Amino acid sequence: MAMQFSVAVRNARLDAIETTIGTSARLMIFTGTKPANCAAADSGTLLATLVLPSDYMDAASGGAKSKSATAWTADASVTGTAGHFRFKDSSSTTTHIQGTITAVGGGGDLWVDSVSLVSGQPVTVSTCVWSEGGA
């Protein structure tokens, strides 16, 4: 039987994720498939590194936490097709979250305007929502 959590517990768990990652987190976008787990080494080619604002996610509500209204954007450093992302701490040494990346509406864990990145052109993250299970 699966455990269930109150909305307050689910929200607290989500807010703790942002606190753990810390301010000025890095969102790194890579080609290819994500590594086996967050402890594994980076894989693929690094296409872009976005330095996120200090408060990059809104407070959790209803068991979900959404990207803040502040723009998440940076220029691509090389040309390639985005396949996965990794959220890292401000020193880019510890990966705390990883997942798939797709164009808007593509069903990935993170949405960007286009997965076809061109060196020197802006990369903008449109949607990012973290959901906590156990409802």
Look at residue 63 and give its three-state secondary structure.
Answer: coil
Please tell me the predicted confidence (pLDDT) of residue 1: 57
Tell me the pLDDT tens digit for each residue of 82-101.
999 999 999 999 999 999 99
Please report the pLDDT score of residue 2 as a whole number: 81
* Collapsed DSSP state (helix, strand, coil) of residue 21: helix
User: What gap in Å lies between CA 126 and CA 105, rounded to an integer?
Assistant: 10
Among candidates 26, 44, 27, which has minimal Cα distance to 35?
44
Which residue ranges in the chain fall short of pLDDT 50? none
Beta strands in 22-93 (DSSP E): 26-31, 46-51, 64-66, 73-75, 80-88
Structure tokens at 21: 């990652």
- Mode of pairing for the β-strands spanning 64-66 and 26-31: unpaired
